[in-house]
Structure 1
Amino acid sequence: MRRQSETLLLVPLLPIFLLGMFPMLLIGLLGFFGLIIFGILLVCVGLTLALEAHGEFNEEIIVHGFARGSERATQLSHLHAATRSAVLLDLAGIALIAAGILGFFWAG
């Protein structure tokens, strides 16, 4: 039985490493200020996600008009799922901003 190289395992993980490199460099080079910037970016992503979900819901209502109950329930379910994930991103961003501010004043 031939043993495969471990480098083939690392090839699919390369894009994840490249995407995760930016926040780590931001935090490492800028310190607590980088943590605050990363938190602000997370809040912006959460707000964008919520606004896009509401826009898609409104577009569905405007374009297709009044839908049956089951279709409306599906649309509302998608809206609530997107809104919940947006709220979690907002909370994570606010926590990072608070941690950055507290760290800046505590360590600085």
Structure 2
Amino acid sequence: MRTRGSESFIVLPLLPIFLIGLFPMLLLSLLGPAGLIILGILVACAGLTDILDASGTFSEQIIVHGYARGSERAGQRTALHSEVRFASAMIASGAVLAVAGIGGLFIS
């Protein structure tokens, strides 16, 4: 039995994944190790931005809501620490990518 729609609509949900992955593929294929360095710097900058955003949110909660109960402060601190841990992992992975790119430049 034939369907009424086109079969090409099946791959439509995969389009955002392709578009997100297109930039790193082109960057690495056209620039080589220098592209890996640029990608590492971008990932590290995203991690730094996330840390600054988390600190700003935490400070805003303290300033706007004032002195909170102990349980609320503990929740705010926990949220801040979890965001900083994730951002630190992003910074570390960006540094590893940059170091790998520098090593690739020296090898080639």
**TM-score for both structures, normalised by structure 1:** 0.90
Shift of 1:10: 1.6
CA displacement at 1:53 relative to structure 2: 0.2
1:1-108 counterparts in 2 under 5 A? 7-106=8-107, 108=108
- Tell me the TM-score normalized by structure 2: 0.90
CA separation of 1:68 and 1:6: change in aligned 2, threshold 3 A: farther
Displacement, 1:24? 1.0
Q: 1:39 and 1:27 mapped to 2: Cα distance?
A: 11
User: What per-residue deviation string (whole Å, max 9, x for no partner) do you get for residues 66-92 of structure 1?
Assistant: 111111111111101110110010011
Q: CA deviation at 1:5?
A: 6.9
1:32-91 deviations in whole A, cap 9, x for unaligned?
000000000011000000010001001100111011111111111110111011001001
Within 2, Cα distance between the matches of 1:10 and 1:35? 29
Q: After TM superposition, where is structure 1 displaced by more than 6 Å over at least 4 residues in a row?
A: 1-5
Runs (5+) with no aligned partner, structure 2: none
Q: Percent identity?
A: 56
**C-alpha deviation, 1:6, in angstroms:** 5.6
Go from structure 1 to structure 2 and tell me whether the alpha carbon gap of 1:78 and 1:6 turns closer, same or farther (over 3 Å shift).
farther
Gaps of 5+ in 1: none
